[in-house]
Amino acid sequence: MLMLDGMTFHLETYGCQMNVHDSMVIEGVLRRRGLRSADGLGDAQVIILNTCSIREKAEEKVFGRLGELASLKERGNLTVLGVSGCMAQRTAERVLERAPAVDFVTGTETFPTIPRLLERILAGERPIVDVSTGHPLPEPAERSLDVNGFRAFVSIMRGCDKRCAFCVVPTTRGPERSRKPDEVVAEVRALAAAGVIEVTLLGQTVNSYRDGATGFAELLRAVDAVEGIERIRFTTNHPNDMTEQVLDAVASCPKVCEHLHLPAQSGSTRVLAAMGRGYTREKYLRVIESSRAWMPHVSLTTDIIVGFPGETEEEFRDTLSLVEEVRYDGAYTFKYSPREGTPAASLPDSVPVPVMKERLARLNERVRALSDEVNRGLVGSEQGVMIEALDVDGPWAVRGRTRTNKTLLLERAPGPVGSVHRVRVSRTRGLTLYGVPVPEPVV
**Contact between 178 and 207 (Cβ < 8 Å):** no
**Min separation Cβ 267 and ligand SF4, Å:** 17
**DSSP helix/strand/coil, 435:** strand
CB nearer to ligand SF4: pick between 26 and 164: 164
Contacts to ligand SF4 by CB under 6 A: 160, 162, 164, 167, 169-170, 204-205, 238
CB nearer to ligand SF4: pick between 173 and 231: 173
DSSP states of 231-265 as a string? EEEEE---GGG--HHHHHHHHH-TTB-SEEE---B
**Min separation Cβ 18 and ligand SF4, Å:** 10
CB nearer to ligand SF4: pick between 70 and 273: 273
Q: Nearest-CA neighbor of 372 among 403, 336, 331?
A: 331
Whether the upstream peptide bond of residue 236 has omega within 30° of 0, thus cis, is: yes
CB nearer to ligand SF4: pick between 93 and 161: 161
d(C-alpha 75, C-alpha 77), whole Å: 7
CB nearer to ligand SF4: pick between 158 and 231: 158
**Min separation Cβ 164 and ligand SF4, Å:** 3
- Per-residue b or e along 58-95, where b marks 16 or more CB atoms closer than 10 Å to that residue's CB: bbebbeebbeebbebbeeeebbbbbbbbbbbbbbbeeb
**Contact between 145 and 131 (Cβ < 8 Å):** no
CB nearer to ligand SF4: pick between 263 and 437: 263
Question: Phi, psi at residue 391, to the nearest 5°?
Answer: -130, 40
**Min separation Cβ 173 and ligand SF4, Å:** 8
**Min separation Cβ 166 and ligand SF4, Å:** 7
Q: Which residues make Cβ contacts (< 8 Å) with residue 238, sequence separation at least 6?
A: 162, 205, 207, 208, 263, 278
- Per-residue b or e along 199-217, where b marks 16 or more CB atoms closer than 10 Å to that residue's CB: bbbbbbbbbbbebeebbbb
**Min separation Cβ 144 and ligand SF4, Å:** 25
CB nearer to ligand SF4: pick between 23 and 205: 205
**Min separation Cβ 424 and ligand SF4, Å:** 38
CB nearer to ligand SF4: pick between 164 and 423: 164
Phi-psi bin for 129: left (phi > 0), alpha (psi -120 to 50), beta? beta
d(C-alpha 131, C-alpha 353), whole Å: 34
**Min separation Cβ 366 and ligand SF4, Å:** 23
**Min separation Cβ 49 and ligand SF4, Å:** 22
CB nearer to ligand SF4: pick between 264 and 385: 264
Q: Is the dihedral of CA 245, 246, 251, 253 positive or negative?
A: positive
